[in-house]
Structure 1
Amino acid sequence: MEFLNKLILLVNDFIWTYILIAMLIVIGFYFTFRTKFVQFTNIKEMFKLLGEGTSSKDKSKNEVSSFQAFCIGTASRVGTGNLAGVASAIAIGGPGAVFWMWLIALIGSASAFIESTLAQIYKVKDGDSFRGGPAYYMEKGLKKKWMGITFSVLIIMCFGFAFNSVQSNTIAAAFNSTFNANKLIIGIILTVLTLLIIFGGVNRIAKISSVLVPIMAVAYIVIALFIIVINFNKIPSLFITIFENAFGIKQVVGGGIGAALLQGIKRGLFSNEAGMGSAPNAAATATVSHPAKQGLIQTLGVFTDTLIICTSTAFIILLSGAPLDGSVKGIELTQMALVSQVGPWGGTFISICILLFAFSSIIGNYYYGETNIQFITENKVVLYGYRILVAAMVLFGSIASMDLVWNIADVFMGLMAILNLIAIVLLGKIAIKALQDYTAQKKAGKNPVFYASSIPELGDEVEEWREDEKEAIA
C-alpha cells in the first residue's frame, strides 16, 4: 500500500507541477479578459437569477429549477474540501496557501462560466428534465465522441469513486475523533444511506440538495463569523500573515511559495471545481430561458464555495493558534481549531457539519457519474452496477488511509481538468457569443431568451434551443 501511495504521488506531482497549475491560471485569465470580467461585473445579476424558478410554461414536477441545479453543483463543491482540504492545505503549504486558493477562485470563476454555459447549450432531453456536461459538448461541439467517452470515464472514476472515498473517509475520521466511533460501522451506515438516495434518481438528489446545502452552509458561516468577531483585533495581522507567506522572502528561500501555491491551487480546485468539468453536469439539468443564466449562477457557486466557506475554515484555523507543523491535518485540525475557540461542543458541531457537507457531496458526486454513464450507454445493468460500486467505494473510503484516498482523487481530478480545459478553450467562442447575446437582450430591457440561430456556428448539433420563436415567446 505504501508503494502504491508513492507511485500515485509521483504521477500526481508531475501532473500538477508541470501541466495543470499553468493551464488553470493562463486559461482563467484568458476567459476573464475575453468575457470582460464577467465574474465581477455580473454579481448582482447572479443573485437575481438565483431566485428564478423554472422558465418552462409547463413547469413539470420533474423539471430541475436553476436554484436546484445550483444546489446540486454546490452540494458537490461544498464538502470535504472546505473543511478538511483547506486544513490540509494550510498544514502542508502554510497560511500562504489561502491566498492562492482565493486567486484560483477569482480567475477560475470565468472558466466556470464558460463550461456551464456550454453545458446548457449542448444539453439533451432526459424525460421531463435535461442532462449534459463536458462529454456532451465534446461530442456535439467538437465532434469528438472519443474525447467525451474518455472524459466520462475519468469523471466516473474521479467523482463516483475517488472523491466519494474522500468524503466518507473524512466523515469517518471526524466521528472517530469526536465520538470514538468505529470507522467501519460509520462506513456501513453511510453506504446504506447512499444506496437509499441514489436509487431515487436525479429529482430526489435535487430536492435533498436544495434543503441540505443552504442549511449547512448558513450554520457553518454563522459560527465562523462569531469566531471572527471575538478575534476581530487579530484580523489585520491575519491578512498580513497570509500575504507574507504567499510572497515573503522567507518562503522564497525555503521553497515555501511553491508548497503554498501547489497546495492552495490543488485544494482550491478540489473544493470549487472551477474549470474541472464537474459542475457543468449539474448546470445542464436546469430549465432556463438562456444558457448564460446558468453560467452566471454556477459562477456564483465558485464564490460561495471558496471566498465564503473555505475562507471561513481558514480563518477558524489561523485565528485559533492550532499547530501548523503538519503534525495535525485534515478534519482533525479543523476540529481542534474550533474546539479551542468555542469549547468541546465545537468538535461535535464539526462532525455534524462534515456529515452534512460530505454526504451531500456524495449525492452530487454520484449524479455526475450517472449522467456520464448515460452518455456512454443506456444499459440499466451498467447503471445499477455503477451504483453498487459507488456504495462500495463509500465503504472503502471510510476505512482507508487518508493520504492514499486524497492522492488518488488528485490524480483523477488533474486528468479530468486537463481534458475539460482543452475542450472549453476550443469551444469558448460559443459561450462568449451566448454571453454577448444575453447582454444585448438585457440592455434592450428583455428577459433574455436564447435561440440556436443567434449563433450560426452551432449548426445542427444543438437539440434544445430550436423551438418555434413565436411559440417560445408565447
Structure 2
Amino acid sequence: MNELNLFITNISDFVWNSILIFLLIGTGIFYTIKLKLVQIKKFKEGFLRVVKGANLNGEKVEKDGMSSFQSLATAVAAQVGTGNLAGAATAITAGGPGAIFWMWLSAFFGMATVYAEAVLGQIYKKKIDGELIGGPAFYISEGLGNNKFSSILAAAFSVLCILALSFMGNAVQSNSIAAAFSNEFPISPIFVGIIIAVISGFIFFGGTKRIASFTEKVVPIMAGLYVITSLIIILVNISHVLPAFKMIIVGAFNPSAVVGGAMGITIKQAVRYGVARGLFSNEAGMGSTPHAHAVAKVKNPSDQGAVAIITVFIDTFVVLTCTALVILINVNLTENSASGIALTQLAFKSTLGSFGGLFIAICLFFFALSTIIGWYYFGLSNIKYLFGHKAINIYTIIVIIFILLGSYAKVDLVWNLSDLFNGLMAFPNLIALLVLYKLVK
C-alpha cells in the first residue's frame, strides 16, 4: 500500500508541478490579455451585483435555476474550505512567506479564468428531465463540436470530477473535521463522522432547493465570523502588520532574507507552493465552480461572469490572506516546526489563548461541511449529465458512505488520488476554455 501511495504521489506531483500549474496560469494570462483585464473592468459590477443580491433567506429555488447570489454562495462554499485554513499554512511552511505573494498573483489571473468558466457555463446550460443544470461537461461536448472526441472528453471530465470531489474529496474533508474535533475534545472520529453524514444526508436528500438554502445562509455567516475574528487579531497586533507584508514581498524574490538560509527555501519553492496552493484553494480553471454559476438566473452570461470574479477575490484576497497575516504576525517561522492546520491553530492561540484552538476547530467544521455540500452538488450535475435523474439516490448513498469511511480511515492514499484526479479533470476543462475564447470574448 505504501508503494502504491508513493507511486500516486509521484504522478500527482508531476501533473501539478510540471504541467498543470503552467497551464492554469497560462490560461489566466491568456484570458487577461484577450479580455483586456476583465478582472479589473468587471470587478465593480460583480461586487455591486453581490451586494445587491445578498440575502440569507433568498428566493425559492425552482427548476429554472438559482438566484445569482445562491449560485455565488454555492461556488464559494466549495472554494472556501480547509485549504483556506491549512493551505496558507502549508504554503508558508514549504515556500516561506513569499508564497503568499505568488498566491495573490495566481488568483489575479485566475479571476479572468473563472469569468470565462462562468460565461461558458451560462451559454451551454440546458434542462434535463425539466431541471436546469450546466457545467464543463456541457460546454466541452457541445462547444467542441458535439462529436465523438468531445463526448469522450466530456465523459472523462464528469467521471474524474465525481471521483475527485464527491467521493475521495469529501472523504478527506470528513477526515479533516473528525481529526480537528478529536484533537480538541475526547470524541471518537467515527462519532463525528456519523454527525457529518447525518447533516450532509439531510441536505443532500432535500435536493437543489435545500443545498441553495444551506449555502446562502451558512457561507456568508461562516466566512464573515472568520474574517472578523482574524481582523481583530490583526488589529490587536497592528504594529506587526507592515513587517508581515514586508516578509511577503521580500520573501517572494529573496526567501533567505526572510526565513534565513538554514531553511533552504528558494524562489522556485516560493512560486511552486504559492501558485499550487492558491489554485487548489480558489479552484479557478479546475472546472468545479462553473456547475454553480451555470444555473444562476441572470439576463446575460457576462453578468454571472462578473459575479464569479468576486468568488476568487473572497477566497484568496480576503479569507486566505487573513489566515496568512495571522500566522506571520503570531508565529516565528524559524523557531517553530508546526505546519498545516496545527500552525494555524498555534497562530490563533497566540492571541486568543485556548479559545483559538476551539475557534479553528469550529471554523474547520463549517468550512469543510460547506465544501462537502458544494462538491456533492458539482458531482450531482455530472451524474445527471451521464445518467439522468435515475442515478441520484445511488450516488447520494455512495457519497454518504465515503463521508463515514473518511472520518475514521487513514486517508493519505485517498487524498493523493483526489489530488491527482482533481488535476486531471482540469485538462478537458482548460482545452475547452482555450478553444472557445472567441465565444467568451
TM-score under structure 2 normalisation? 0.92
Equivalent residue of 1:125, what SS?
A: strand
**CA offsets 1:65-93 (integer angstroms, 9 cap, x no match):** 00000000000111111112222222222
Q: 1:133 aligns with which of 135, 143, 150?
A: 135
Q: 1:239 aligns with which of 241, 245, 249?
A: 245
Separation in 2, partners of 1:16, 1:174: 27
Equivalent residue of 2:436, what SS?
A: helix
Which residue identity does 1:135 align to in structure 2?
A
1:32-431 equivalences in 2 (<5 Å): 32-51=32-51, 61-62=61-62, 63-126=65-128, 130-142=132-144, 143=146, 144-248=150-254, 250=256, 254=264, 256-321=266-331, 323=333, 327-378=337-388, 380=390, 382-401=391-410, 403-431=412-440
How much has 1:256 moved relative to structure 2? Answer: 2.5
Q: 1:61 to 1:220 in 2, by over 3 A?
A: closer
Equivalent residue of 2:164, what SS?
A: helix
Q: Is the 8 A contact 2:95 2:265 kept in 1?
A: no
Which residue identity does 1:27 align to in structure 2?
T
Equivalent residue of 1:378, what SS?
A: helix
Q: Is the 8 A contact 1:91 1:326 kept in 2?
A: no
Separation in 1, partners of 2:407, 2:332: 25
Which residue identity does 1:396 align to in structure 2?
L
Separation in 1, partners of 2:130, 2:215: 19
Q: 1:199 to 1:156 in 2, by over 3 A?
A: same
**CA offsets 1:227-280 (integer angstroms, 9 cap, x no match):** 111111112211221223221163898452232222222221221011111010
Separation in 2, partners of 1:61, 1:131: 13
Q: Is the 8 A contact 1:76 1:365 kept in 2?
A: yes
Separation in 2, partners of 1:249, 1:47: 35
Structure 1: 5+ residue stretches without partners: 433-474
Separation in 2, partners of 1:408, 1:388: 21
Equivalent residue of 1:189, what SS?
A: helix
Equivalent residue of 1:187, what SS?
A: helix
Separation in 1, partners of 2:337, 2:413: 17
The aligned counterpart of 1:31 is 31
Q: Is the 8 A contact 2:96 2:270 kept in 1?
A: yes
How much has 1:223 moved relative to structure 2? Answer: 0.8
Larger CA deviation: 328-337 vs 396-405: 396-405
Q: 1:128 to 1:319 in 2, by over 3 A?
A: farther
**CA offsets 1:77-130 (integer angstroms, 9 cap, x no match):** 111111122222222222222111111110111010001100000000256652
Q: Is the 8 A contact 1:316 1:337 kept in 2?
A: yes
RMSD, aligned α-carbons? 2.1
TM-score under structure 1 normalisation? 0.86
Larger CA deviation: 88-97 vs 114-123: 88-97
Equivalent residue of 2:388, what SS?
A: coil
**CA offsets 1:17-48 (integer angstroms, 9 cap, x no match):** 22111111211111001111111122210122
Separation in 2, partners of 1:170, 1:322: 25
2:26 matches 1:20: no
After TM superposition, where is structure 1 displaced by more than 6 Å over at least 4 residues in a row?
Answer: none
The aligned counterpart of 1:457 is none
Q: 1:337 to 1:429 in 2, by over 3 A?
A: same
The aligned counterpart of 2:9 is 9
1:438-449 equivalences in 2 (<5 Å): none
Q: Is the 8 A contact 2:43 2:309 kept in 1?
A: no
Equivalent residue of 1:181, what SS?
A: coil
Larger CA deviation: 45-54 vs 119-128: 45-54
**CA offsets 1:297-346 (integer angstroms, 9 cap, x no match):** 11110000000000111111111115578842222221121011111111
Q: 1:5 to 1:49 in 2, by over 3 A?
A: same
Q: Is the 8 A contact 2:91 2:277 kept in 1?
A: yes
Separation in 2, partners of 1:396, 1:259: 34
Separation in 1, partners of 2:197, 2:13: 31
How much has 1:408 moved relative to structure 2? Answer: 2.4
Q: 1:64 to 1:426 in 2, by over 3 A?
A: same
Separation in 2, partners of 1:267, 1:181: 30
Q: 1:249 to 1:83 in 2, by over 3 A?
A: closer
Which residue identity does 1:366 align to in structure 2?
Y
Q: Is the 8 A contact 2:173 2:369 kept in 1?
A: yes
What is the aligned-residue identity percentage? 44
Separation in 2, partners of 1:128, 1:384: 18
Larger CA deviation: 273-282 vs 403-412: 403-412
Q: Is the 8 A contact 1:94 1:324 kept in 2?
A: no
How much has 1:53 moved relative to structure 2? Answer: 5.5
